[in-house]
Structure 1
Amino acid sequence: MTTTQPDKAHLFRSLHTLAGPLALANAWDVASARVIESAGAPAIATTSAGVAWSLGSPDGDALAREQALELISRIAAAVAAPVTADIEGGYGQDAADIAETVTGVLAAGAVGVNIEDGTRPPGELATRLAVARQAADRAGADLFLNARIDTYLFGLGDPDTRLAETLSRARMYVDAGADGIFVPGVTDTTVIAALAEDIAVPLNVMAEPGAPTVAELGALGVARVSLGSGVAQAAYAAARRAARELFETGDYGSLAGGIAFPELDALFSGTH
């Protein structure tokens, strides 16, 4: 069993392939991480939105760093697979904050992070990426640094120049130390292929209903496919369906198909 940080980091890097892209069904708490791992996940990724919701905060840099780090630590301790953490913009305002977050993520047991640009100037994320890389180097850790570009997710800028802007940001972020580039919000195969052709590091996209399959994305040049907050959203929708059925009709059919209690409970034996 792979147990050391260098071994897990090496394994995590090796999973980014075009022949079999790394498929990540993002977790938001220990239970979801254990369920996803038991389904055969080679790695566990967190969703910052799902984590924030589970802890009573909205998404978007509202969660306190300490809460995020504690959750990452709990997940990393509960699974054998390598863990990569979505840390939004880095949970901080300046270089010292970003360094503290990354140092904390490594101490929590993760081997990778996502850091996003959002609506910040691209140069600001480049600085944060460089700081994150320096913090990992100081810790003597191999950290997979995934830079998220939100041009498509947020519809930033002119649609006619969005691809060129995305590629420009990607080059800037790779130069700053990014090991991978994450472009959520794009499902058009022509755009995905163009991104993959011009981006020198593993390309990560986010899948949703109607998107190409994992294998099809691999054929387009994608090395990593994430579900983002989608699994958490589906889980909360299941909870709402069951509640509405109970309150409105007094019935319980929505509970059919749930994981059997003994099977779910057994996932946590030996985790305390």
Structure 2
Amino acid sequence: MSNFETFHQQTQPLLLANVWDAESAKLAKLAGYQAIGTSSAAIASVLGYEDGEKMPFEELLFMVKRIVESCPLPLSVDIESGYSNDSKKIVRHIQQLAELGVVGVNIEDSKVEKTRRLADKCAFSEVLKEITDELKRRSTSVFINVRCDAFLLNLTNAREEAVERAKLYEKAGAGGLFFPCVTAKADIAELVKSTTLPINVMAMPDLPDTNSLSLLGVKRISMGNFAHILVNQQLESTLKEIREQGSCDSLFA
């Protein structure tokens, strides 16, 4: 079992710093994090793209390579829905990342076309099984964290849908399950109960604190692209102050 996989079995949840470039990764290491994960939305923003696989996979690879070479922490990469509908091509993408030293990936069960929509759960599960089976055949060890977007899309039956998908994805070979935007303790408890896989939640304004999440059985907490948004908001505020005050003092405050 890899160190990264072991991190998902700790008493306290693995707190994953979501990064977008080499510098943010190095800062996560300095702050004492055990592991890091990329934010696809943040990297896309840095490179001038909208989220939703608008960024070419080759450009994601470039950024991942720079992060891996700049920071020794275990890295999980957000590959959205795999940058393809073809399981063989998705496996090639994951293989390329693994060859760079990536230890995990997030793959999501929704896709952005005109709007973001959930994939058919049975069809997605079949593709997921093809991916995990082929990775095993190649002896490629990567932690597959499957993101279910039932809560992110605010479905009226989000809990029921997520529980059904959790069971299917576990059978298909997922290593962990990620439910962004779930915040209610009752929902989280039901998700934990529905699977033997480690459950990952995402930072939200009304998410319970880490100790509460630990008691509920959560094993991983991600930050999404919120750190990147915060940094950009602070930069925007500073740049406005400089222009409005006619002074660069704000840079040195």
Distance in 2 (CA, whole Å) between partners of 1:155 and 1:209 is: 16
Paired position in structure 1 for 2:29: 37
Paired position in structure 2 for 1:56: 48
**Equivalent residue pairs, number:** 246
Where do 4+ consecutive residues of structure 1 move more than 3 Å?
Answer: 251-257
Distance in 2 (CA, whole Å) between partners of 1:96 and 1:199 is: 27
Contact 1:30/1:78 (<8 A) preserved: yes
TM-score, normalisation: structure 2: 0.91
Distance in 1 (CA, whole Å) between partners of 2:36 and 2:158 is: 30
The reply to whether residue 136 of structure 1 matches residue 135 of structure 2 is yes
Q: Structure 1 167/35 Cα, relative in aligned 2: closer, same or farther at 3 Å?
A: same
The reply to whether residue 69 of structure 1 matches residue 65 of structure 2 is no
Please say which of residues 245-254 and 224-233 is displaced more in the overlay. Answer: 245-254
Contact 1:241/1:254 (<8 A) preserved: no
Tell me which amino acid in the other structure corresponds to 1:147.
Answer: V
Tell me which amino acid in the other structure corresponds to 2:101.
Answer: G
Question: Deviations 1:1-50 (Å, cap 9, x if unpaired)?
Answer: xxxxxxxx710011113521100120011111111111001011111101
The reply to whether residue 90 of structure 1 matches residue 89 of structure 2 is no
Contact 1:29/1:51 (<8 A) preserved: yes
Residue 172 of structure 1, aligned match among 168, 171, 179: 168
Residue 2 of structure 2, aligned match among 10, 13, 21: 10
Question: Deviations 1:41-98 (Å, cap 9, x if unpaired)?
Answer: 1011111101111111110111111111121122112211111100000011212221
Summarize the alignment of residues 220-239 of structure 1 with structure 2, pairs less than 5 Å apart. Answer: 220-239=216-235
Question: Deviations 1:81-119 (Å, cap 9, x if unpaired)?
Answer: 111100000011212221221111111210100000122
Distance in 1 (CA, whole Å) between partners of 2:159 and 2:93 is: 31
Cα shift at 1:202: 0.1
Please say which of residues 116-125 and 81-90 is displaced more in the overlay. Answer: 116-125
Summarize the alignment of residues 245-264 of structure 1 with structure 2, pairs less than 5 Å apart. Answer: 245-252=241-248, 254-255=250-251
Residue 111 of structure 1, aligned match among 103, 117, 120: 103
| Structure with greater strand percent | 2
The reply to whether residue 212 of structure 1 matches residue 208 of structure 2 is yes
Summarize the alignment of residues 113-128 of structure 1 with structure 2, pairs less than 5 Å apart. Answer: 113-118=105-110, 119=117, 120-128=119-127
Q: Structure 1 139/79 Cα, relative in aligned 2: closer, same or farther at 3 Å?
A: farther
Contact 1:204/1:223 (<8 A) preserved: yes
Tell me which amino acid in the other structure corresponds to 2:128.
Answer: L
Distance in 2 (CA, whole Å) between partners of 1:255 and 1:168 is: 51
Distance in 1 (CA, whole Å) between partners of 2:205 and 2:158 is: 23
Contact 1:28/1:50 (<8 A) preserved: yes
- SS in structure 2 of the partner of residue 26 of structure 1: strand
Paired position in structure 2 for 1:260: none
Distance in 2 (CA, whole Å) between partners of 1:108 and 1:35 is: 21
Q: Structure 1 81/33 Cα, relative in aligned 2: closer, same or farther at 3 Å?
A: same
Show structure 1 runs of 5+ residues with no match: 1-8, 258-272
Tell me which amino acid in the other structure corresponds to 1:57.
Answer: Y
Distance in 1 (CA, whole Å) between partners of 2:150 and 2:239 is: 37
Contact 1:115/1:129 (<8 A) preserved: no
User: Identity over the aligned pairs, expressed in percent?
Assistant: 35
Distance in 2 (CA, whole Å) between partners of 1:49 and 1:91 is: 14
Distance in 2 (CA, whole Å) between partners of 1:252 and 1:217 is: 43
Paired position in structure 1 for 2:113: none
- SS in structure 2 of the partner of residue 16 of structure 1: helix
Paired position in structure 1 for 2:158: 162
Contact 1:18/1:221 (<8 A) preserved: no
Q: What CA RMSD, in Å, does the superposition of the two structures yield over aligned residues? A: 1.7
